[in-house]
Amino acid sequence: MANDPLQQIYDVIVVGSGATGGWAAKRLSEAGLKVALLEAGRTVTPREFTEHMPVFQLKYRGRDPEIAKTRPIQQQCYACMEYNYEWFVNDLENPYSTPTDRPFTWQRLRVLGGRSLVWGRHSYRLSDVDFKAASRDGFDVDWPISYADLAPYYDIVERYVGISGAAEKNPMLPDGQFLPPMKMSCGEVRLRDSMQKKFGRTLTMGRVAILTQPHNGRAPCHYCGPCERGCFTFSYFSSPFTTVKDAVKTGNCTLITDAIVSHVDMDTASNKASGVTFVTRATKETKQVRGKAVVLCAQALESTRILLNSSTREYPKGLGNSSGMLGHHLMDHVVGGGASGTFEDLQGKPSASPPHRPTGIYAVRFRNTPATGKYPHFIRGYGYQGSSMPSFDFGAPGIGATYKRAVKQGTYDVSLGAFGESLARFDNFCEIDPYLKDAWGIPALRISMAHGANEKAMMQDAAVSAAEMLEAAGAKNIRITTGTEMPGMAIHEVGTARMGTDPKKSVLNPFSQSHDVSNVVVADGSCFVSSACQNPTLTMMALAVRACDHLAERFRRNEV
Amino acid sequence: MEGFDRVVPHQEGQSRSSTSLLNRRELIRAALFASVATVLGPTFSVAQAVSSGLTAAARGEDGSAVLSDPNWKPAFLNEHQNATLIMVSDVIIPATETPGAKAALVNRYLDLLLSVQPAGFQQRFSGALAFIDDESQKEFKSDFVQLTPENQVWLLNQWAFARENSRWTERDDRHGEPGDPGQRNFQLLKTLIATGYYESEMGQKELGWDGEMTHGPYLGCEHATGTHT
Ligand SMILES: Cc1cc2nc3c(=O)[nH]c(=O)nc-3n(C[C@H](O)[C@H](O)[C@H](O)COP(=O)(O)OP(=O)(O)OC[C@H]3O[C@@H](n4cnc5c(N)ncnc54)[C@H](O)[C@@H]3O)c2cc1C
Ligand code: SF4
């Protein structure tokens, strides 16, 4: 076939079409490069979105036994539900192993757009307190880049994606290019004012990739609520209907779905990648596609799995792993600490009808900051996501008409839940399990991660601090949760192919390019040196744009 | 609760605005426009005969039809259990100005749900219904379904309020697993019945659901600065 997409030699092969892969495809194809975008899953269309479907139209109203059967791990994710569970991987087909005493929950989507279809959309910049954390507290190493290197790319991503939020002038959470923020409830205003006055801490409206005004041809949010079921006005950012669409529109990008990449192919003579091998999802045939450069955006653990599965005689421990660092320093945010209560004196009637604000509030990190100084019990810090809204009191006592009234009367709830930095440790890692393969015969991962004493102390402090702040704001019935949830629970996994200037201590250079194989780039969260405590995807996307602009520049200079 | 998640319909937000940013017709137009605008162009799929991979919901199927089927038969409950459940549910959530649990077919939804639960959970449920009959026999010498409405309320009311164990306990009793078998069995039934009711169409209407997908943006606190400090 003359125009068989598999017979061409592309400039760049991008693997994965999620939050980062969409950006890679967009930037590279807009730079005039011929791109093949390989996606393991099927394509997705707005027809299958279910955000407006009422719960009673679900046969099991959210409790379809099929979910537990085929997705025993994925069902731990709040966003995996009877409406959309087919977007999440089938755990039986996509196994991985963990040591019994070090469980890890790996929540992922294999469909065009990946996890950008269901993500929580919280989008925060990191600051130099994060990039240069090691210089302050002596733990591990700094990032090889600083905030100034990334700021222009944060701007590019934010301007395109559309982030609603408020500027706060808090150096821990740099301001960006914001659309107007969503609105706070009375309870949130009270908490914000009290936190500022009594603790000098910043509570801001969640900065989210949801439009509050028309933006780049997309309509603003109409506040229906359940974004993780899709959005037929594309008001929140997901890659298929933005970056991927733009890439395909250039005419330079060929989107190849249902193509599960198993490994990178190497040309030993030139020490360069020559393309990738993939297995077709339906027929399980092995095929190849050739390119002058390979950009992995399959998400942190998957990209590393591909590299580990690409070992050659020259790279016996995994492609580009001469440092021995590939797979190591796996991180996820630590969650589990927080508090909740009620504001008994606030009025507000809950309703099952919209508007449902599709996000919450965010409390900026206040431990171990330049302003607050060193905190004695742990290093680094945490931020909180939360909300305060009237909600139905299904747990009200009694029966009959009294109970029905009490349910509707509701309570005015308030809660804060922490996301803390997870320290980068060599012994939190993934490797290939020699005995385990997925349904396509591709060797699967063994993931070994545990949170340590620092994370535990952080969650303890986060619980007590949240309770204190709620109490100071006048909340009653305060309860706390402490302890650390299983790693993976924050769904913010990063690391496993860290960037650095020293090829002996890092896998990637500061432009996310392999130290060992110059035409392999890993443009997702694998390159993270530390996790910081901010939700990571905005930073991943900014890093992807920076890495791909750099690659395009190398093409222009004929260096690839 | 094993085999069963804690169930409350997920709702947040206040309905305080009356002006719609987009009305329903505009939204539908936006959707048509959107789906045209997002045709992805020359996509190349290497899968030939892959199953659609869509959930029933994504295929647009209304799964509630099974409950209103005129030939409905229980899949898990026996006749007596079904009759008891209908009565218990209608005492806990009776018709008031709005319909109650019986009209909302709560028994049918719970029967469907129970039919796919693990055996341990099914036994707990059956045990809870049997417990109600046992207590009814002890006090009134007849099964729950035979009691007068007044006695039905009398019987259930004894378990309907949480008892305090300690003023200092961290746990909210109402959600906990109180040690008393009456409270435990009653609470199990009540939680399931409330779930079956409030997630039904009638229950959603009871909670203010009006079928509209938008009523404009969330307006938030509109009080003067400092009102809440
Ligand atoms: C419920 C939920 C809530 C979240 N909330 C937030 C939040 O509020 N803020 C935030 O910052 N982050 C959030 N995240 C995390 C966020 O979704 C991820 O950080 C982000 O999507 C990662 O982007 P990515 O491109 O690396 O991977 P993904 O977006 O996961 O995309 C990876 C893509 O690669 C494809 N792929 C994988 N393996 C292969 C292969 N071998 N061959 C070909 N293709 C492959 C997958 O099919 C997928 O399409 C959330 C995640 C979830 C699930
Ligand atoms: S709440 Fe807003 S962003 Fe979310 S699905 Fe509805 S319209 Fe889209």
pLDDT in tens, A97-109: 999 999 999 999 9
Residue A188, chain B, CB below 8 Å: the answer is yes
Work out the average pLDDT over A283-297. 97
Distance, CA of A533 to CA of A552 (rounded, Å): 31
Q: Which of B35, B164, B228, B229 to mutate to test the interface with A (most CBs of A within 10 A)?
A: B228
- CA–centroid distance, A327 to ligand 1, in Å, is 18
Residue of B nearest to A348 (CA): B14
Contacts of A291 (CB under 8 A, 6+ apart): A9, A10, A11, A12, A13, A36, A273, A274, A275, A276
Residue A392: pLDDT band (50, 70, 90) is very high
Contact B53 A223 (CB under 8 A): no
**Longest Cα–Cα distance in chain A:** 80
Contact B220 A42 (CB under 8 A): no
Contact B13 A351 (CB under 8 A): yes
Q: Where are the domains of chain B?
A: 76-161+177-209
pLDDT in tens, A466-515: 999 999 999 999 999 999 999 999 999 999 999 999 999 999 999 999 99
Count of beta carbons in the 10 Å neighbourhood of residue A460: 18
Cross-strand bridge partners of residue A280: A259
Mean pLDDT rounded to a whole number for chain B? 81
Residue A537 lies in a domain: yes
Considering only residues B172 and A399, tell me which one the structure prediction assigns the higher pLDDT.
A399
Q: What is the pLDDT of residue B162?
A: 75
Q: What is the pLDDT of residue A4?
A: 87
- 3-state secondary structure (DSSP) of residue B128: helix
The closest of A383, A375, A421 to A202, measured between CA atoms, is: A383
pLDDT in tens, A307-319: 999 999 999 999 9
Q: Quick one: residue A147, left, alpha or beta (phi over 0 = left, psi -120 to 50 = alpha)?
A: alpha
Q: Which ligand is nearest to the CA of A111?
A: 1
Residue A111 lies in a domain: yes
Phi, psi of A480 (to 5 degrees): -120, 160
A86 residue type, one letter: E
Q: What is the pLDDT of residue A494?
A: 98
Contact B47 A54 (CB under 8 A): no
Work out the average pLDDT over A388-394. 97
Ligand 2: which of A52, A163, A210 to mutate, most ligand atoms within 8 Å of CB? A210
Q: What is the pLDDT of residue A298?
A: 98
Contact A258 B50 (CB under 8 A): yes
User: Packing angle between helix B79-92 and helix B119-140, nearest 10 degrees?
Assistant: 70
Q: Which residue has the tokens 């229950």?
A: B203
Distance, CA of A492 to CA of A534 (rounded, Å): 9
Q: Which residues line the pocket of ligand 2, CB cutoff 6 A?
A: A 51, 210, 221-225, 227, 231, 233, 235-236, 358
User: Packing angle between helix B119-140 and helix B181-198, nearest 10 degrees?
Assistant: 110
pLDDT at A135 over 60: yes
**Which residue has a Cα nearest atom 13 of ligand 1?**
A119
Considering only residues B174 and A248, tell me which one the structure prediction assigns the higher pLDDT.
A248
Residue of A nearest to B45 (CA): A257
Q: Which ligand is nearest to the CA of A52?
A: 2
CATH number at residue A406: 3.50.50.60
Q: What is the pLDDT of residue B23?
A: 47
Residue B185: pLDDT band (50, 70, 90) is very high
Q: How many CB pairs under 8 A join A and B?
A: 308
For chain A positions 50-89, those within 8 Å of chain B (CB to CB) are: 50, 52-63, 65, 82-86
For chain A positions 499-558, those within 8 Å of chain B (CB to CB) are: none
Q: Which ligand is nearest to the CA of A24?
A: 1
For chain A positions 229-258, those within 8 Å of chain B (CB to CB) are: 232-234, 240-241, 244-245, 248-249, 254-258
Work out the average pLDDT over A323-345. 97
Work out the average pLDDT over B81-95. 98
**Which residue has a Cα nearest atom 24 of ligand 1?**
A299
Parent domain of A68: 9-556
Looking at ligand 1, which atom is closest to the CA of residue A20?
Answer: 25
pLDDT in tens, B26-83: 544 444 444 433 445 555 666 544 456 899 999 999 999 999 999 999 999 999 999 9
Residue of A nearest to B22 (CA): A222
Share of chain A above pLDDT 90, in %: 98
A24 residue type, one letter: A
How many secondary structure helices (H) and strands (E) does chain B include?
8, 1
Distance, CA of A451 to CA of A103 (rounded, Å): 11
Looking at ligand 2, which atom is closest to the CA of residue A224?
Answer: 6
pLDDT at B114 over 50: yes
What ipTM, to 2 d.p.? Answer: 0.94
Contacts with A259 from chain B: Cβ below 8 Å? 46
Q: What is the pLDDT of residue A1?
A: 45
Residue A61: pLDDT band (50, 70, 90) is very high
Show the CA angle centred on residue B136, arms to residues B131 and B139, nearest 5°. Answer: 125
**3-state SS string over A167-184?**
CCCCCCCCCCCEECCCCC
pLDDT in tens, A262-280: 999 999 999 999 999 999 9
Show the CA angle centred on residue A185, arms to residues A181 and A188, nearest 5°. Answer: 90
For chain A positions 417-476, those within 8 Å of chain B (CB to CB) are: none
- CA–centroid distance, A91 to ligand 1, in Å, is 16
Q: What is the pLDDT of residue B14?
A: 33
Work out the average pLDDT over A38-62. 96
**Which residue has a Cα nearest atom 37 of ligand 1?**
A298
Ligand 2: which of A161, A231, A238, A356 to mutate, most ligand atoms within 8 Å of CB? A231
Distance, CA of A183 to CA of A356 (rounded, Å): 11
pLDDT at A91 over 50: yes
Distance, CA of A49 to CA of A472 (rounded, Å): 42
pLDDT at B163 over 80: no
Ligand 2: which of A221, A232, A241 to mutate, most ligand atoms within 8 Å of CB? A221
Q: Which residues line the pocket of ligand 1, CB cutoff 6 A?
A: A 15-21, 38-41, 77, 79, 107-110, 114-116, 118-122, 260-261, 297-299, 302, 306, 491-492, 524-525, 535-537, 540
Phi, psi of A402 (to 5 degrees): -60, -45
**Longest Cα–Cα distance in chain B:** 75
| Residue A325 DSSP label | -
Q: Give the gap in angstroms from C-alpha A158 to the nearest C-alpha of chain B.
A: 21
- CA–centroid distance, A47 to ligand 2, in Å, is 15
What is the pTM (predicted TM-score) of this model? 0.94
Q: What is the pLDDT of residue B164?
A: 65
- CA–centroid distance, A176 to ligand 2, in Å, is 22
pLDDT at A161 over 50: yes
Work out the average pLDDT over B172-184. 64
Distance, CA of A432 to CA of B17 (rounded, Å): 55
Q: Quick one: residue A483, left, alpha or beta (phi over 0 = left, psi -120 to 50 = alpha)?
A: left
Residue A37 lies in a domain: yes
**Which residue has a Cα nearest atom 8 of ligand 2?**
A231
Looking at ligand 2, which atom is closest to the CA of residue A232?
Answer: 8
- CA–centroid distance, A67 to ligand 1, in Å, is 20
pLDDT at A222 over 60: yes
B110 residue type, one letter: L
Residue A69 lies in a domain: yes
Work out the average pLDDT over A388-412. 97
For chain A positions 301-340, those within 8 Å of chain B (CB to CB) are: none
Residue A1 lies in a domain: no
pLDDT at A362 over 90: yes
Distance, CA of B66 to CA of B109 (rounded, Å): 9
pLDDT at A449 over 50: yes
Show the CA angle centred on residue A122, arms to residues A138 and A173, nearest 5°. Answer: 45
Q: How many domains does chain A have?
A: 1
The closest of A179, A158, A240 to A541, measured between CA atoms, is: A158
- CA–centroid distance, B173 to ligand 2, in Å, is 36
Looking at ligand 2, which atom is closest to the CA of residue A121?
Answer: 3
Q: What is the pLDDT of residue B12?
A: 33
Mean pLDDT rounded to a whole number for chain A? 97
- Say if CB A115 and CB A109 are below 8 A apart: yes
A312 residue type, one letter: T
Contact A394 B8 (CB under 8 A): yes
Ligand 1: which of A20, A88, A115 to mutate, most ligand atoms within 8 Å of CB? A115
pLDDT at B4 over 60: no
**3-state SS string over A485-502?**
CCCCCCCCCECCCCECCC
Distance, CA of B62 to CA of B202 (rounded, Å): 16
Contacts of A358 (CB under 8 A, 6+ apart): A121, A208, A210, A221, A223, A224, A225, A226, A227, A236
Q: What is the pLDDT of residue B168?
A: 57
pLDDT at B8 over 50: no
Q: Which ligand is nearest to the CA of A119?
A: 1
Considering only residues A2 and A388, tell me which one the structure prediction assigns the higher pLDDT.
A388
- Say if CB A62 and CB A207 are below 8 A apart: no
- CA–centroid distance, A537 to ligand 1, in Å, is 9
Work out the average pLDDT over A274-298. 97
Question: Which of the residue ranges A474-478, B22-26, B98-102 would you say has the lowest mean pLDDT?
Answer: B22-26
Distance, CA of A488 to CA of A107 (rounded, Å): 7
- CA–centroid distance, A82 to ligand 2, in Å, is 19
Contact A183 B217 (CB under 8 A): yes
- 3-state secondary structure (DSSP) of residue A38: strand
Residue B19: pLDDT band (50, 70, 90) is very low
